[in-house]
Structure 1
C-alpha cells in the first residue's frame, strides 16, 4: 500500500538505465567515432551486406572494443522477405524466420570473433521487431537464435510483450528496451514509420524523465513499465534526425540519474 504523498513508482526499485544506438542509416563512421563513448550498447543492423557495409561493421567492432561498448546483432527482413507476415500467411513461418536470423547473425558473429569482442545481445529491427512482439511463434523463433551464438548473450526487446514471454520460456536473459524517439500504442509497442520525425530537446528530456521517475513508456496513451522491470536500455535510432544530439543528451540524463542511485550505467 502506498504511504501518503508517495506514488507506486516511489516504492518500486529504482531503475537502472543504459544508452543504446540502433546503427543503420543516418550516421557514418566519423559520426560514430564522436559518440561511441556515450553508448553502452550498439545494435548493428545485419542483413544482406555490401562490401562498404562490411568494412563499416569491421570499423564498428574495432571502435566498440577500444571503448568497451557492447555490440549486438540486429537482424531485420527486407520488404520482400516481410511479404506475407499477415495472419494466415505461410511465407514467414517461424522456421523461416529462425533460418533468416541464423544466417544474418552468423555473419556478424564471425566478425566479432575476429575482433575478440563477442556479441553481447541480439534484437530484431524494424517491422519484424513489432511482429515478434505480438506473435508468440515468431518471438520463440527469434529468441531461439540467442543460445546458438552465445550461451551468455541477452535478448533485447519490449517488456510485457511476447519478447519477454519468449525469453522466460527459453530461459534466456532479457533486457527491456525503450525508444526515446518513437511514439507508442496502447499495448506498449512502438509505432515504426518509414521516415522518423524529429524530436526536440524538450521532448527528449521530458520523455526520459517520465520513464525514469514515473516508469512511463508513453504518456498518451498512458503505458507504464511493468513493476518487475529493474533496468532499461534507452534506445536511439541512427535514422532519427539529429540522432547524435539525442544520444549525447540521453547519456547526460542517464549519467545524472544513475549517479543519484549509486549505479554506473556501464555495469550491466
Structure 2
C-alpha cells in the first residue's frame, strides 16, 4: 500500500497572538513542524504544541528559519554561514527541551519560508543548515524539496534526506515552487487541493502552472495551517487519501 506523511506548520503565534489552530490540526497530521522562535513561536507556545503533539503521537519537527519575526521568515536575508549554522542548532536545541519534557523528541528538521526556498539552489546556505543540524543531532532527518541542494548535502553528510511536496502551492515546470509574490502561487480551490494531494501520493506527479505534468516524488505532504479553512481542508485531504488506498503515517 502507498503511504505518505502529512505535515503542517504549527505553533506559528507569538504571545497572545495565534495564527494556526494547533489543537485541531494535530488531530489530522502525522508530523508537526513547530516554529522555533525565529519566524514565529515563543517558549510558551513551543511547550504547549509539543505537549499536544506528544499526547496525540504526532512527530515533532523543528521548523528553523532566518531570524525574521517581523517578516514571518519570508524575507530574503544574507546570513554568514557560521552564524546560520549556529542559529539552526540553537533553534533545534530550544525545541528539543520542550519535546523531551513532553515525553517525545525532535524527530526531524524542516526549514521555513525564505530559507527553505533559498536552500533549493544555494549550496553555501544549504551547507550551513546541514552543519547546524549536525551540531544538534547527527541522526536527524531533514525535510526538503526534491532535487534541492539541501537534501543533496544532507545525504552526503549522512543525514536522512526526506522529500516533501505541497498540496496547496503552484509548481513550475522544473518542480520548484512558484514564488508567493506571483499570481496563483497558492491554490485556493479546496477540491483542487484534495485532487492534487491524491495525485502526489499515488502517482508522484503534479500539474505545473503552465499545465505540464511534472514528477514530484515525495514522502511527506505539507498542508499549510495558516490558510482560511485549513482544518476542514486538512480533514478532507486525509479522508480522500485514505479512501483512495493511501496509508497516512509519519516518516520519522
Seen in structure 2, the aligned counterparts of structure 1 residues 182 and 81 have a Cα distance that, compared at 3 Å, is: closer
Q: Secondary structure of 1:145's match?
A: helix
Structure-to-structure mapping, 1:81-100, within 5 angstroms: 85=77, 91-100=78-87
Task: Please tell me the root mean square deviation across aligned C-alpha atoms, in Å.
Answer: 3.0
Structure-to-structure mapping, 1:31-110, within 5 angstroms: 31-48=21-38, 53-77=42-66, 78=68, 85=77, 91-110=78-97
Unaligned runs of 5+ in 2: none
* 1:126 and 1:192 in contact (8 A); partners too: no
**2:190 pairs with 180, 197, 201, which one?**
201
Unaligned runs of 5+ in 1: 1-13, 86-90
Higher helix share: 1
Question: Matches of 1:40 and 1:74 in 2, distance apart?
Answer: 15
Question: Matches of 2:238 and 2:141 in 1, distance apart?
Answer: 22
* 2:170 and 2:186 in contact (8 A); partners too: no
* 1:64 and 1:70 in contact (8 A); partners too: yes
Q: How many residues align?
A: 242
Residues 202-236 of structure 1, C-alpha deviation per residue, up to 9 Å, x if partnerless?
A: 111221132133321343343212xxx5x521101
Residues 231-264 of structure 1, C-alpha deviation per residue, up to 9 Å, x if partnerless?
A: 521101222222112211221123234xx36x55
| Partner residue in 2 for 1:212 | 201
Seen in structure 2, the aligned counterparts of structure 1 residues 215 and 267 have a Cα distance that, compared at 3 Å, is: closer
Question: Matches of 1:139 and 1:28 in 2, distance apart?
Answer: 30
Q: Which has the larger radius of gyration?
A: 1
Question: Matches of 2:72 and 2:3 in 1, distance apart?
Answer: 39
Report how far residue 80 of structure 1 moved: 11
| Partner residue in 2 for 1:224 | 215
Report how far residue 92 of structure 1 moved: 1.8
| Partner residue in 2 for 1:135 | 122
Question: Matches of 1:38 and 1:187 in 2, distance apart?
Answer: 30
Question: Matches of 2:72 and 2:6 in 1, distance apart?
Answer: 32
* 2:37 and 2:43 in contact (8 A); partners too: no
Q: Secondary structure of 1:237's match?
A: coil
Seen in structure 2, the aligned counterparts of structure 1 residues 44 and 30 have a Cα distance that, compared at 3 Å, is: closer
Q: Secondary structure of 1:251's match?
A: helix
TM-score for the superposition, normalised by structure 1 = 0.78
Question: Matches of 1:73 and 1:266 in 2, distance apart?
Answer: 15
Question: Matches of 2:123 and 2:190 in 1, distance apart?
Answer: 36
Seen in structure 2, the aligned counterparts of structure 1 residues 92 and 83 have a Cα distance that, compared at 3 Å, is: farther
* 2:35 and 2:62 in contact (8 A); partners too: yes
Report how far residue 188 of structure 1 moved: 1.8
Report how far residue 95 of structure 1 moved: 1.7
